[in-house]
């Protein structure tokens, strides 16, 4: 007995987990192969993609700025991490300490907005927002200094950005 059932293609992806854990595998259903030519999954569209026959796409313009109130918190929202290996940077000048700030809800929303338009940021992209230092600079810190900065950043990291873990509960 023959079957005319067409199997829906799926993408098999590794889902990152907490440090030390093997990635989980997940299947994501793909559109039918006949529609693949119409897809444009690139972060930067060249404008040569075929128009969709479905609902109109959202404009590529920047999202409107959120109105965010500047609040005077009753506790400090920042911690200064002194560096044992201070450094000079051509654009940033002399850096002897890193100030790590807690993110506001508005900043979290901005990071999530950027995440949906581009590839997902790694934690250093989020730490860059918290420290106002570029992610490559943070990655270039001496390991001990970097570890202390990352520890404070991790403590301030909003739960929405924390990888889930079943083994350690962290």
For the record, the structure tokens of 72 come out as 């005077």
Residue 75 has pLDDT above 90, yes or no: yes
Residue 104 is assigned to a structural domain of this protein: yes
For the chain, how far is it from start to end, CA to CA, in angstroms? Answer: 52
Average pLDDT (73-92) is: 95
Residue 53 has pLDDT above 60, yes or no: no
Q: How confident is the model at residue 57 (pLDDT cuts 50, 70, 90)?
A: very low
Residue 38 · residue 57 · CB < 8 Å: no
Residue 26 is assigned to a structural domain of this protein: no
Q: How confident is the model at residue 162 (pLDDT cuts 50, 70, 90)?
A: confident
Residue 115 is assigned to a structural domain of this protein: yes
pLDDT at 11: 64
Residue 111 is assigned to a structural domain of this protein: yes
* Helix-helix angle 123-131:143-156, to 10 degrees: 90
- Give the C-alpha separation, 23 to 26, whole Å: 9
Residue 27 is assigned to a structural domain of this protein: no
Residue 4 is assigned to a structural domain of this protein: no
Residue 132 is assigned to a structural domain of this protein: yes
Q: Which domain holds residue 97?
A: 78-161
Q: Domain total for the chain? A: 1
pLDDT at 19: 61
Q: What is the pLDDT of residues 97-113, one digit of tens each?
A: 999 999 999 888 888 87
Q: What is the pLDDT of residues 126-140, one digit of tens each?
A: 999 999 999 999 999
Residue 100 is assigned to a structural domain of this protein: yes
β 78-89/24-29 pair status: unpaired
Residue 118 has pLDDT above 60, yes or no: no
Residue 6 has pLDDT above 80, yes or no: no
Dihedrals φ, ψ of 149, to 5°?
A: -65, -45
Average pLDDT (14-43) is: 65
Question: Which residues pair with residue 26 across a beta bridge?
Answer: 13
């Amino acid at each position: 007995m023959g079957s005319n059932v067409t199997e829906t293609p799926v993408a098999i992806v590794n889902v990152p987990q907490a440090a030390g854990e093997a990635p989980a595998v997940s299947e994501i259903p793909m559109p039918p192969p006949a529609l693949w030519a119409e897809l444009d999954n690139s972060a930067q569209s060249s404008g040569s993609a075929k128009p969709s026959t479905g609902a109109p796409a959202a404009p590529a313009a920047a999202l409107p700025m959120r109105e965010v109130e500047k609040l005077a918190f009753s506790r400090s929202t920042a911690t200064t991490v002194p560096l044992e290996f201070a450094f000079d940077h051509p654009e940033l000048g002399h850096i002897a300490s890193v100030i790590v700030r807690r993110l506001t809800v508005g900043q979290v929303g901005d990071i999530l907005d950027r995440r949906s338009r581009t590839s997902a940021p790694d934690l250093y992209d989020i730490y860059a927002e918290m420290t106002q230092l570029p992610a490559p600079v943070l990655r270039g810190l001496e390991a001990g200094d970097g570890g202390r900065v990352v520890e404070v950043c991790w403590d301030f990291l909003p739960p929405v950005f924390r990888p889930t873990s079943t083994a350690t509960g962290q």
